[in-house]
Structure 1
Amino acid sequence: MTEAAMTSGNGLSLRVHARRMLTETVCEFDLRRSDGGPLPAFEAGSSLIVQTPSSERRNYSLCNDDRERHRYVIAVKREATSRGGSRSMHDEAHEGVVFEVELARNGLRAGQGRRHLLVAGGIGITPMMSLLRRLARDPLNAFRLLYLARSRAEAPYAEELARMGLGNALTFHFSAEHGGRRLDVRPMLKDNGTGTHLYYCGPGRLMYSIGMSSIHWPRIHVHFEQFSSLAGTRAGDEAFTVKQASTGRIFEVGGNETILDSLRREGLKPEASCESGTCGKCRMTLVAGEADHRDMYLAPEDRPSSIMPCVSRSVGGAELELDF
């Protein structure tokens, strides 16, 4: 790949200015324009869609201060079960390599309020970093970060966080230092009478525990980033049809394929990125029919009129009419 500046549309061609290993499995990438020009502003908690060297498109959280305009910083964990994305970032995204990126529409955005509880597990600290920096800038914000990991050596940004002078607002819990015992976060989620906003990200087990323990919280006070992929299909899924609103064309969606799979099989090229129901890139307008929503992106108020075709389906095998 050759160096380039800004591309057309919402995309950018960015160069790896620097990289460093945060842990044995997590690498940080400092991405900049080749001409040194400014980058589009981003909101703290946002993520970046990256066309990795393997050509897989992946979402990575922006970790740097949202006031910075000269760079985007992401941290990528090398996954043992990688389909190519994280592995290619570690093995091929060396200094000087250029690839396409795009600011994503999803992310862990700050809620409207003054009290905030952040819970991160392992690599789940990445979406918290820019958010934490923003919260810490305003002395009126009361916040606490609880960072859970197996050990300090396996905790990205642990040293940087310790140097930020957060005092009692920062709590580390490394299970290796506690006989392997994980911290039970459920007691601190019992009461939301203070109007606290909750933010969480981490492994599936932690996500499930916090999700269930905060089920009684007002939904507008709960914010999370889901890293693990959602399955596009499940055992027992029924076949159904999709009608294209603009043309009336009918697409057959098999029980073992997604709506995106069906459209591609017929020669269409719908926009998509994560294909796990988390980034919002493939969002379509739901004109008619009842959708079986399986994504982690759409807000409740958006679900009657939108669908994420990478994971969501029809209820009961009935036809869906979509605008795409």
Structure 2
Amino acid sequence: MDMIVEERRDEADGVVSLSLVPADGSVLPAWTPGAHVDVTMAGGIVRQYSLCSEPGDERRWRIGVLREQAGRGGSEYVHDKLHGGDVVEVGLPRNNFALDEAARYVFVAGGIGITPILPMIDAAERAGAEWTLLYGGRSRSSMAFTGELTAHGDRVTVAPQDETGLLDLDALLGTPQPGTLVYACGPEPLLDAVADRMSAWPSGALRVERFTPKTIETDGPDAAFEVEFATSGVTAVVPVGVSVLTVAEENGLLPDWSCREGTCGTCETTIVDGRAEHRDSLLTDDEREEQATMMICVSRAEKGCPRLRLDL
């Protein structure tokens, strides 16, 4: 849908927020904390940004965007080209980082990873759950939305690295806490450190969202395999170095996709038969073992599986 930039604000060094309203004045679809949207810019650039406004607001959405100097151009476009009154195309919300019900939450955010956490905090408040937030960044001036967080008092710990050093994850997560879910979003080293500290916690207690693909270790060199798109009646070979998504497109199919790097979940496809080697950054270990779906932009057939049958 076409949306107008109603307001643009500088939230921190290198971070801007955009408040977006429907160009036709319509009511926005509902969404839940943790959701993100695709934003399409000039030249067909598509990027995913977490919604960080109030889910009950049917008039406007807000996103926060960090300028990434080594990025692929999306954040620079937002920072340099988008201003109040400009129009961008925004997709419907999708949620791969949903806030499940719990008696207590521990939120951990690094840098721009605070964006999906903001509406989660509001939801936890409304549900009457206990919660705390540990929010880290390079410096206080680089950390967005800190002003909003002051309303929550000592439940929020803002820890700029240049003032306090690395986040004290041992104190926060070193002892498993029954009935507690941990939601973490931020750079890969932070997420790895959180997972390491939570090795003794119950399975499923940690939920993470990544803005960049995690490092995947593969079991030996890739091999070609056969894929059958069961719904379409098309069978084709997936060569080494080519994704299932690309092969689908080359055979006239039009699967949904966005990031092509296994982080957004748009291309998630049901596995009818066969086993996938999962290379995405979304599925949990249990979901990978279930072999119910795969992200066809990055995942391949498991070694020794010569054929995948997909619902596409």
- What TM-score comes out, normalization by structure 1 length? 0.88
- Aligned position for 1:254: 239
Distance 1:113 1:161 in 2: 21
Match for 1:292: what amino acid? E
Match for 1:57: what amino acid? V
Quote the offset at 1:231 in angstroms.
7.2
Distance 2:115 2:35 in 1: 10
Do structure 1's residue 157 and structure 2's residue 141 form an aligned pair? Answer: no
Match for 1:306: what amino acid? T
Provide the secondary structure at the position in 2 that maps to 1:159: helix
Quote the offset at 1:149 in angstroms.
0.8
Return closer, same or farther for 1:16/1:120 CA change in 2, 3 Å cut-off. same
Alignment equivalent of 1:242, drawn from 227, 234, 244 = 227
Q: Is the 8 A contact 1:54 1:88 kept in 2?
A: no
Q: Is the 8 A contact 1:232 1:257 kept in 2?
A: no
Alignment map for 1:31-180 (pairs within 5 Å): 31-138=20-127, 140-162=128-150, 164=151, 166-178=152-164
Do structure 1's residue 288 and structure 2's residue 277 form an aligned pair? Answer: no
Q: Is the 8 A contact 1:53 1:89 kept in 2?
A: no
- Aligned position for 1:189: 173
Do structure 1's residue 271 and structure 2's residue 256 form an aligned pair? Answer: yes
Stretch deviating more after TM superposition (32-41 or 142-151): 32-41
Distance 2:75 2:216 in 1: 20
Distance 1:120 1:132 in 2: 12
Match for 1:277: what amino acid? G
Distance 2:101 2:280 in 1: 24
Distance 1:294 1:213 in 2: 23
Do structure 1's residue 29 and structure 2's residue 18 form an aligned pair? Answer: yes
Q: CA RMSD in A?
A: 2.1
- Aligned position for 1:320: 308
Q: Is the 8 A contact 1:233 1:256 kept in 2?
A: no
Distance 2:105 2:30 in 1: 23
Q: Is the 8 A contact 1:147 1:171 kept in 2?
A: yes
Return closer, same or farther for 1:203/1:284 CA change in 2, 3 Å cut-off. same
Provide the secondary structure at the position in 1 that maps to 2:91: strand
Distance 1:104 1:230 in 2: 23
- Aligned position for 2:190: 206
Structure 1: give runs of 5+ residues left out of the alignment.
1-11
Distance 1:233 1:283 in 2: 20
What are the Cα deviations for residues 115-169 of structure 1, in whole angstroms up to 9, with x where unaligned? 110000011101101111222234x31100000111110001112212x1x1220
Quote the offset at 1:98 in angstroms.
1.6
Provide the secondary structure at the position in 2 that maps to 1:104: coil
Quote the offset at 1:248 in angstroms.
4.2
Do structure 1's residue 225 and structure 2's residue 209 form an aligned pair? Answer: yes
Q: Is the 8 A contact 1:230 1:311 kept in 2?
A: no
Distance 2:182 2:257 in 1: 29
Q: Is the 8 A contact 2:6 2:20 kept in 1?
A: yes
- Aligned position for 1:4: none
Return closer, same or farther for 1:39/1:314 CA change in 2, 3 Å cut-off. same
Q: Is the 8 A contact 1:48 1:102 kept in 2?
A: yes
Quote the offset at 1:217 in angstroms.
2.5
Q: How many residues align?
A: 308
Quote the offset at 1:306 in angstroms.
1.2
Quote the offset at 1:233 in angstroms.
10
Distance 2:205 2:42 in 1: 37
Provide the secondary structure at the position in 2 that maps to 1:220: coil
Structure 1 stretches of 4+ moved >6 Å: 231-235
Distance 1:219 1:132 in 2: 23
